[in-house]
Amino acid sequence: MGFNSFRFILLFLPALLAGWYILNRFEKYTVADLFLAGMSLYYYYTFGAFFPVILLVSMAVNYGLGMLVERSSDKGKRAIKIIGVIFNLALLFYFKYLGFFVDNINQVAGLTLTARQILMPIGISFFTFGQISFIVDRANGDAPVYSITEYLLYMTYFPKLIQGPIAFHKEIIDQFRDRTKRHFDSDTFARGVMSFIIGLGKKVILADTLSSAVNYGFHYTYYMDTLTVIVVMLSYTFQIYLDFSGYCDMANGVSLMLGVRLPTNFNSPYKAATAKELWQRWHMTLSRFFIKYVYIPLGGSRKGKVRTIINVLIVFVLSGLWHGAGWTYICWGLMQGLLVVWDDLGIVGVKGSVTENSGRARKYLLRDKPLIMVPKFVGNAMTFLMFVISLIFFRSQDMTYAIQMFKQFFFFTYPGFLYRTASQLEIAENYLPRQLFSQLGISGGETIVYMATMLVILAVCGFIMTRRNTVEIVENTRFDKKTVAGLAIVFVWSFISLSNVSTFIYFQF
């Protein structure tokens, strides 16, 4: 029961909102919290019957360790922190990485070990990081004592449970403690609806449409020509952003309807002029988690240039591994880390970049000022291009397919596979144009329609990436008749398209 389903929109969400506001209207705050936690667990249950059990066991262990902190010495707190981190990582390893680990042991040692097939709980990477942030902060004295109800609500809160953002405990619990946020506010609710509709449109109208061509292209990697690879990679670059940011928009929208604001996860990342800036804009809550709990504890930039480079690469390799158990993800993370290191070296600088004009002089590893300065549009183009290329690793099913895709990309061929890829975009919206060409007897009508469909969709996606992001739109929009009409059209269009619904890309992480 994803956000983009009839069941969620027509049944679950109305029942949830009605129950939440009725209970809070009569000041039954604890009951309201338990109601929301129960509905969140039910929502999680719809993805797998045993998933809530894993989550509750994880919560019980972490909350128990957190309570022990109050009665422990400094040495005991350090021990609790280590035990908590090991427990959470072990749980994540068992469900997500055990098969990958065993396969690699077999290849290296020539063994035939087997690992039983384990269904990975959806969102385990997200809620595990939430647990780690809690237990580390408790042991460090940065998290207060929460009641079991507050902690239950924080961990199970469904808008962030499945696919993030990775919200810290204080960000969520403090809002639930604020009684003023529990009363219905029409303006906040309307902006929540707006955010949800925009996210639904991103996912259903654009991302799901592109997914057909992307899946086809990566399935037939060995048949791809250079031009088709470029189109497929652009399609995937737009798809993954629209899919993930669309989910976050919907999550934030639902949360705003409940009176709670989630942390921003995207800030127009494809506008970035450097790799470092891109990671200040893309999946922002994951980046800040790794900075706070990995990069800074490793020494950050305080222990010399070489150590700084190593720390950056460690963070990005772990980020790649967090996304998936495979060498393709590790290579993707390493490539992103190398691009950030290149940016930090200061060999090439970008005029007017965010990192350059952030209020203080930018510190580079090798020099005070960049050796070469390029215009911002050059930085934008190069950053986007390198991110597109890196996604070959991210999307390919294994390293063999990734290497083949790189070959097709860099060594020009043109056997004419583009039409077959474009023909996967056989959507309801292009039915009338196809029928018109057919009735007029125009030769190659279908080819024209499919090619035009792909070009239009890519152009629309590119245009969207240059506009304000959803957070900016939602915060600054005035609800006039034109806005309401536009939202109604997007919602109806998306709602009609739900029959072609697909799961979110980040569900697998």
- Other beta carbons within 10 Å of 452: 14
**Spacing of C-alpha 429 from chain mean position:** 28
**Pairing assessment for the beta strands 372-374 and 348-350 based on DSSP bridges:** parallel
Domain match, 439 and 301 both:
yes
Residue 1 lies in a domain: no
Q: Of 128, 157, 184, which one is at a domain's C-terminal end?
A: 184
Rounded distance, CA 89 to CA 124, Å? 11
Query: In this structure, is residue 472 part of a structural domain?
Result: yes
What is the pLDDT, as a whole number, of residue 191? 95
- Asked whether residue 167 falls in the same domain as residue 199, the answer is no
Two structure tokens written together for 188: 């906040």
Residue 30 tokens read as 């604890």
Distance CA 342, CA 345 (A): 5
Domain presence at residue 507: no
Any domain includes 33: yes
Domain boundary (143, 164, 184) is at 184
Residue 214 within a domain: yes
Residues 169 and 241 in one domain: no
Exposure string over 355-390, b if 16+ CB within 10 A, otherwise e: bbeeeeebebbeeeebeeebebeebbebbbebbbbb
Query: For 366-386, how does the pLDDT look when each residue is reduced to its tens digit (9 = 90+)?
Result: 777 888 899 999 999 999 999
Angle between helix 124-139 and helix 74-92 axes, rounded to 10 deg? 180
Calpha distance 94→100 (Å, rounded)? 10
Residues 30 and 132 in one domain: yes
Q: CA-to-CA distance for 28 and 80, rounded, in angstroms?
A: 35
- For residue 509, being part of any structural domain is answered with no
One-letter-per-residue 3-state SS of 436-487: HHHHHCCCCHHHHHHHHHHHHHHHHHHHHHHCCCHHHHHHHCCCCHHHHHHH
Phi, psi of 479 (to 5 degrees): -85, 80
Same domain for 18 and 42, yes or no, is yes
Is residue 178 domain-shared with residue 234, that is, in the same domain? no
Does residue 173 sit in the same domain as residue 318?
no
Grouping H, G, I as helix, E, B as strand and the rest as coil, residue 312 is: helix
Q: Are residues 313 and 354 in the same domain?
A: yes
In whole angstroms, give the CA distance from residue 343 to residue 364. Answer: 8
Q: Is residue 443 included in any domain, yes or no?
A: yes
**What residues act catalytically?**
323
Of the candidates 163, 184, 205, which is a domain's last residue?
Answer: 184
CA distance 328 to 162: 23
The reply to whether omega before 269 is within 30° of 0 (cis) is no
Which pLDDT value is given to residue 107?
Answer: 86
Which tokens in the block code for residue 445?
A: 């009508």
173: in domain:
yes
Q: Model pTM?
A: 0.91
DSSP state of 10: I
Pair 71, 195 in one domain: no
**Which amino acid appears at position 272 of this protein?**
A
On whether the CB atoms of residues 146 and 131 are closer than 8 A, the answer is no
Contact between residue 85 and residue 133 where contact means Cβ atoms under 8 Å apart: no
What pLDDT score does 410 carry?
Answer: 86
Q: Are residues 148 and 170 in the same domain?
A: yes
165 and 199 share a domain? no
Tokens of 294: 């990995």
Report residues of the chain scoring pLDDT below 50: 355-359
pLDDT of residue 284: 93
Task: Round to whole Å and give the CA distance between 57 and 44.
Answer: 14
Q: Residue 123: left if φ>0, alpha if ψ -120 to 50, beta else—which one?
A: left
Task: Give the closest residue to 58 by CA, choosing from 34, 96, 80, 90.
Answer: 90
Q: How many domains are contained in the chain? A: 2
The two counts, helices (H) then strands (E), for the chain are: 24, 2
| pLDDT for the residue numbered 356 | 45
Range of the domain at 144: 6-109+117-184
Q: At 104, which amino acid appears? A: N
The answer to whether residues 204 and 243 belong to one domain is yes
**Rounded Cα distance, 250 and 8, in Å:** 12
pLDDT tens digits, one per residue of 471-486? 999 998 888 899 999 9
